[in-house]
Amino acid sequence: SLVDDAIVDVENVFRHLRENRLKPLSERLSTLQVVYEASKEVRMPILNSTLIIVASFLPLFFLSGMEGRMLVPLGITFIVSLFASTLVALTLTPVLCSYLLQNNTAKETPQEPFVVRHLKSGYDRVLQGSLRRWKVVLNSSLAVLVLAVVLFLNFGRSFLPPFNEGSFTINVATLPGTSLEESDKIGRLAEEIVMGIPEVKTVIRKTGRAELDEHALGVHVSELEAPFEIIDRPRDAVTEELRERLGEIPGINLEIGQPISHRIDVMLSGNKANIAIKIFGNELNKLFSLGNEIQAAIQDVPGVADLNVEQQVERPELSIRPKRELMAAYGLTLPEFKEYINVMLAGEVVSQVMEGGRRFDLTVKVDDKHRTTIASLKELTVDAGGRKVPLGQLADFVSTAGPNTINRENVQRHVVVSANTAGRDLRSVVADIQKRIDQEISLPDDYYIQYGGQFESEMRASRTLMVTSIFAILVIFLLIYNQFRNTRQAALIMLNLPMALIGGIFMIWMTSGVVSIPAIIGFISLFGIATRNGLLLVDRYNTLLAEGYSLDESIRKGSMDRMIPILMMAISTALALLPLALQADQPGNEIQSPLAQVILGGLLTSTILNMIIIPIVYRWMGAKKENA
């Protein structure tokens, strides 16, 4: 895109210099005059087409969350670079043309290059045939557009394309409270199974994570990193075999992902899975029961993998319940009682000790031997009104059980049912899950479900892009109208948008069949790129009409004049996009590839149809105006 403005300027200067050499010697202008007039002719179309492309990228800046963090830098980089290239095309490029493209007086009848002559000859035949059979051409284009829209409505939807990070991240979790020894034994068994996969090179395991870690985990959770190298099987087949083998370990919850993908899922929903079904309510036991019901209802939904319910188990607790009447008799308040308990059992830092240049906290608490049993705790004494009173007289000690964790979101308790997708797109899987839950699960009053993870982000980003794209299209229309001051001609150039969509949709159909956020960005980018060609054509038609050419002559000559710069811009953009589009499975290229594929396909159809449909509709509008 950065060379497009220069292509238009240089080609127009080059063509005007050739036409200038064909004139009699007495009528020829100087090189400087020709360069000035030629550059002036395309100055406004270049500037407006740049502003149009910038307007098409504006929806990116309204994205929030993870998608905004990833895609806004793309928009900033593109817009800044585009403005810089336009500035160069409007200033430096004409100067270089005046020095490097001199009038050649030796050739009085300069010929166009062989390839250009044959391209123009072929295009002229196609254009004349299309103008004669304009109804057939328009109806065929409309039919193809309808087919493309039908295909688009049947595509799958996802937030991001699947990554190819070259490493598996595998979470193996047992019941909370499982000892470190038993969890380590299960982790070793998982290691052996993973190493049995031929493509896996090595395995690294972490069992549990420290409390101060950003991702603290209990000792019942093991996280395995398994770098792999694809040999002769697709990655999906390797993942499926890994899932089947690890699924044979009894009593575990399994999640298989990749390092960056896992972190993205955690940042989006707090869970290391693509889909997070959050059940909100008050009673933890009821929430856990509902989670198990949902798991049973959706476990056979096609595409659901690694289906898990957030583990809830009862763990032993010691409840110290103060006797308020006795405490009042001894003159002991509840805050004072609480402070005694905290200091004795949890400890309190009262000072620091310096030793060899290092600082150590000095903590006051009861010796560990007095905290091992309920009987020893009851014997601990509390200062109450100057008297030492046994703790057993001031409080009841009750052995109870409570949940291992209580998770909240927006102050509400919740339990999460998590799942990944395999073999299907994200939105289709979630749609089937929602349908199954609505049919089979009855929620009590004050209990409700929210769907989080990548699905939630995809829905939010799609809504944002849809709304902002409407405004972007309106801005593009106003910029085109400002160029021509003609509503019909502005609408004519906007015909490039559906033409561009055709190629992008067919490109998705031939590749993944799934529309992701990068692919939607590709469609938005096409809006600006596609309208540039129509802007150049219509501007040239108008110029030739103003010079006295007839309508048909203006269309034929204008189309021939603009064919080369339009093709050069399309080819240069296509060559730049090909490495991204063809290497879709390369690590690091997964996000750019759908965007490049959509732009490449849309560029192909918009370039071809633009050079046929725009002349047809322009002629029809001109003929209607003459008849009026």
pLDDT value at residue 385: 73
Q: 92: pLDDT confidence band, cut at 50, 70 and 90? A: very high
Q: What whole-number distance in Å separates Cα of residue 249 and Cα of residue 228? A: 22
Q: Is the dihedral of CA 38, 41, 44, 50 positive or negative?
A: negative
Inter-helix orientation angle 592-627/487-494, to 10°: 140
Give the residues across from 244 on adjacent strands. none
Q: What whole-number distance in Å separates Cα of residue 605 and Cα of residue 618? A: 19
Alpha carbon separation from 217 to 160, 208, 257, 445, 612 (Å, rounded): 27, 5, 17, 33, 63
DSSP 58: G
Q: What whole-number distance in Å separates Cα of residue 334 and Cα of residue 328? A: 9
Residues 538, 544, 549, 550, Cα dihedral to 10°: 10
pLDDT 10s digits, 116-157: 888 989 999 999 999 999 999 999 999 999 999 999 988 888
pLDDT 10s digits, 172-221: 888 887 888 898 999 999 999 999 888 888 999 988 877 666 667 778 88
> CB-hemisphere CA count at 13 Å for 545?
14
| Strand blocks (E) in 327-409 | 348-355, 358-364, 381-384, 387-390, 395-403, 408-409
Instruction: Label residue 171 left, alpha or beta by phi (over 0 means left) and psi (-120 to 50 means alpha).
Output: beta
CB of 418 within 8 A of CB of 268? no
Average pLDDT, the chain: 85
- Predicted TM-score (pTM) of the model is 0.76
Give the residues across from 348 on adjacent strands. 364
Name residues whose C-beta falls within 8 Å of residue 601's C-beta, 6 or more positions apart in sequence: 503, 504, 505, 506, 507, 508
Q: Is the dihedral of CA 512, 518, 520, 526 positive or negative?
A: negative
pLDDT value at residue 77: 92
Q: What whole-number distance in Å separates Cα of residue 89 and Cα of residue 93? A: 5
Pick from 31, 38, 10, 32: nearest CA to 105: 31
Radius of gyration for the chain, computed over Cα atoms and rounded to the nearest angstrom: 35
Count the Cβ atoms, other than its own, within 10 Å of residue 185: 12
DSSP-assigned states of every residue in 265-291? HHHHHSSSSSEEEEEEES-HHHHHHHH
Give the residue-averaged pLDDT of 76-92: 92
pLDDT value at residue 584: 75
pLDDT 10s digits, 541-567: 998 998 888 998 999 999 998 898 889
Length of the chain: 628
Residues 580, 609, 90, 3, Cα dihedral to 10°: 20
Q: What whole-number distance in Å separates Cα of residue 158 and Cα of residue 172? A: 26
Structure tokens at 15: 């063509």
pLDDT 10s digits, 27-67: 888 889 999 999 998 888 888 888 888 888 888 898 887 77
Per the model's pLDDT, the better-predicted residue between 591 and 477 turns out to be 477
Find tokens 């620091």 and name the residue. 352
Structure tokens at 343: 């200091």
pLDDT 10s digits, 399-439: 887 777 778 888 888 888 888 888 788 888 888 999 999 98
Q: 110: pLDDT confidence band, cut at 50, 70 and 90? A: low
- DSSP 3-state assignment of 470? helix
Q: What whole-number distance in Å separates Cα of residue 310 and Cα of residue 415? A: 6
Pick from 344, 480, 469: nearest CA to 50: 480
Alpha carbon separation from 282 to 287, 407, 412, 437 (Å, rounded): 8, 11, 7, 20
Give the residue-averaged pLDDT of 250-257: 85
First CA to last CA distance, the chain: 41
Q: What whole-number distance in Å separates Cα of residue 309 and Cα of residue 197? A: 27
CB of 175 within 8 A of CB of 314? no
